[in-house]
Structure 1
């Protein structure tokens, strides 16, 4: 079925989802929408990638739109002010480019380059303004996007975002060591690390500027709200692993739930795929239950006071966008050129990446 039954294009086409990856419950119960700013978003993020020198001009022209990075964010943060969505989309595009640099530094055995980048990103997170003109485009682009994200909510939100992303950088470093040393984490260890490398709490934090309000700890840490957020992110991370499995096996990866299941649980490839499908389907089932409780929480917060109405409205927006994450992640994996391994000349080398480290050949 089409991702958008009422597409804005003149020639809507159905997306062919392989049976092993098809989730009928997502297609039926999680209708997909795009933020109305999306066409402009796509154009401006493409321009930003060029201005920040994050991708060569020829690769931006050939691949940027087809990678669908802006589609992913425009389908998630519904209701966000245009400037907030633009900052999130640029940051998300940066994140994918960073992930590709990390991958290439591993593949080409560049530990010194990765170490330098890691230290610079930690520093830029604490002081983005002083890194806006850094020689490494990846550092400068990160500083630019983070500085914009820091402008929407109070310092307390900025400190939380920084704390969460420091953890993501350190998790990427653990992945770097695992991959260069050929270490396949055990399943439980991998699942804990995946919450960080997928940046579960970063994408959840960004629900708040989209809703225009920093949520108090009493709400963010409420078991119902936290569970709904975690389920939406776990679904995304594990579905990503399911869709990425052919690409990552081709690239001698060690960081994938399926690979951990095969190595440490003794599953065949077919059994691992079935196990991963069960996990993602369970996330959907549990979310449909918890979502109702989270929406009741938003109603309870709306106690007739001005503050209560503000909180209830923000939580309702955040929970509805958690729901959007399911559909936008699902369709992204079938629309984006990032996962079309069979169309690549080299199944282990994405055609949209730059194989050089910054300043190195």
Structure 2
């Protein structure tokens, strides 16, 4: 009898052991309806199949559990933002934009919207128009400093994805150390964590954000999220030819069998969870010694708590939330091809002035400058 394939999700909830209950936003039903309307408005569900796929992915449910305390307009925005990130990722892994040249054009288009959301016309590509809407809506809630940090983190994540494309084309997974740094960027953890600040109404000033201990807390949270996600997405990424998944990294460089790699990753996650909880505890003890104004002390505490809730909520979505995103399907009954959401009527994304076909976009000096 053939041995059943190991279940990457087995035991995953117990791995985190975060001391926070799974909470759901009281306006979760409104978030579901809002997301469907928003996706239709910007052409993100061009066919009935894509609409069904979006519903089955349950992105609004993920946002409802990851941002349970956000005021309703910000919770609705979070559901749209999470959906946009996942749909963008699909364009790379399964769609028509997974080459260096095409993804470089995506980076240019996203950067242009960050500079001027109002410049995107009604005839632009669906995901770019949706991105302009997200930028416009979040604008009144954030300071220029937050917007600059968020934009830099998002562009770093897109450059991280560009590096993943190059590694995929080479066919060689990065080492564990290389992947740890790359994963913090390409997983979009840091821009997502930025949005937690905005959604709980507790933006951190830069001097607090850059405290070494808080950065260690963020890095541990990013690793826990990225590696947990890898356990769920490994088959999807293996099928897409990607090599930047921790399971694949350990299989290649350490010569581990799939079930051995899963066990090794669970051990790594357990250690990082302990690092996360230790940093959280130290931050709570650090607050009085910093002599912070009450508003800043409250913001720091709110963000530490909200980030732990975010991890708990996203873990729920991965393991118990009913999403079909990582469901392994029979090749004969695979879902329809990914709709191209990055091509507009003019059949091209906005390109950086002077860019020639075949030119490469250089990465920042470090894939994860804040990583």
* TM-score band w.r.t. shorter chain: 0.7 to 0.9
More helix by share: 1
8 A contact 2:230–2:245 mirrored in 1: yes
**Is there any run of 5+ residues in structure 2 with no aligned partner, and where?**
1-6, 348-371
Q: State how far apart, in whole Å, the 2-side matches of 1:217 and 1:354 are.
A: 39
Q: State how far apart, in whole Å, the 1-side matches of 2:189 and 2:214 are.
A: 14
- Counterpart of 1:5 in structure 2 is none
Q: State how far apart, in whole Å, the 2-side matches of 1:189 and 1:133 are.
A: 41
The Cα shift of 1:285 comes to 2.1
- Counterpart of 1:6 in structure 2 is none
Q: What is the CA deviation profile of residues 131-152 of structure 1, one whole-angstrom value per residue up to 9, with x for unaligned ones?
A: 2535211111111112212221
- Counterpart of 1:231 in structure 2 is 220
The Cα shift of 1:345 comes to 4.1
182, 185, 188: which one aligns with 2:174: 185
The Cα shift of 1:316 comes to 1.6
The alignment's TM-score, normalised by the length of structure 1, stands at: 0.84
Q: State how far apart, in whole Å, the 2-side matches of 1:265 and 1:42 are.
A: 43
Q: State how far apart, in whole Å, the 1-side matches of 2:309 and 2:337 are.
A: 27
Higher mean displacement: 263-272 or 315-324: 263-272
- Counterpart of 2:58 in structure 1 is 68
The Cα shift of 1:97 comes to 0.6
- Counterpart of 2:327 in structure 1 is 340
Q: Relative to structure 1, is the Cα distance of residues 264 and 277 closer, same or farther in structure 2, using a 3 angstrom cutoff?
A: same
The Cα shift of 1:291 comes to 1.8
- Does residue 1:309 correspond to 2:294, yes or no? yes
Give the CA RMSD over aligned residues: 2.7
79, 87, 102: which one aligns with 1:97: 87
8 A contact 2:95–2:339 mirrored in 1: no
Higher mean displacement: 330-339 or 284-293: 284-293
What SS class does the counterpart of residue 337 from structure 1 fall into?
Answer: coil
- Counterpart of 2:238 in structure 1 is 249
Q: What is the CA deviation profile of residues 256-302 of structure 1, one whole-angstrom value per residue up to 9, with x for unaligned ones?
A: 1111111122222222111111111122222222222223344556x
- Residues 156-305 of structure 1 correspond to what in structure 2 (within 5 A)? 156-298=145-287
8 A contact 2:125–2:341 mirrored in 1: no
- Does residue 1:31 correspond to 2:12, yes or no? no
8 A contact 1:69–1:92 mirrored in 2: yes
Q: Relative to structure 1, is the Cα distance of residues 49 and 19 closer, same or farther in structure 2, using a 3 angstrom cutoff?
A: closer
The Cα shift of 1:357 comes to 6.0
The alignment's TM-score, normalised by the length of structure 2, stands at: 0.82
Higher mean displacement: 242-251 or 163-172: 242-251
Q: What is the CA deviation profile of residues 162-220 of structure 1, one whole-angstrom value per residue up to 9, with x for unaligned ones?
A: 11112112112111222233232222111111111111211221122123233122211
Q: State how far apart, in whole Å, the 2-side matches of 1:68 and 1:27 are.
A: 24
The Cα shift of 1:358 comes to 2.3
- Counterpart of 2:311 in structure 1 is 326
8 A contact 2:35–2:76 mirrored in 1: yes
Q: Relative to structure 1, is the Cα distance of residues 56 and 239 closer, same or farther in structure 2, using a 3 angstrom cutoff?
A: same
Q: State how far apart, in whole Å, the 2-side matches of 1:170 and 1:239 are.
A: 22
The Cα shift of 1:153 comes to 1.4
Q: State how far apart, in whole Å, the 2-side matches of 1:351 and 1:338 are.
A: 13
The Cα shift of 1:356 comes to 7.7
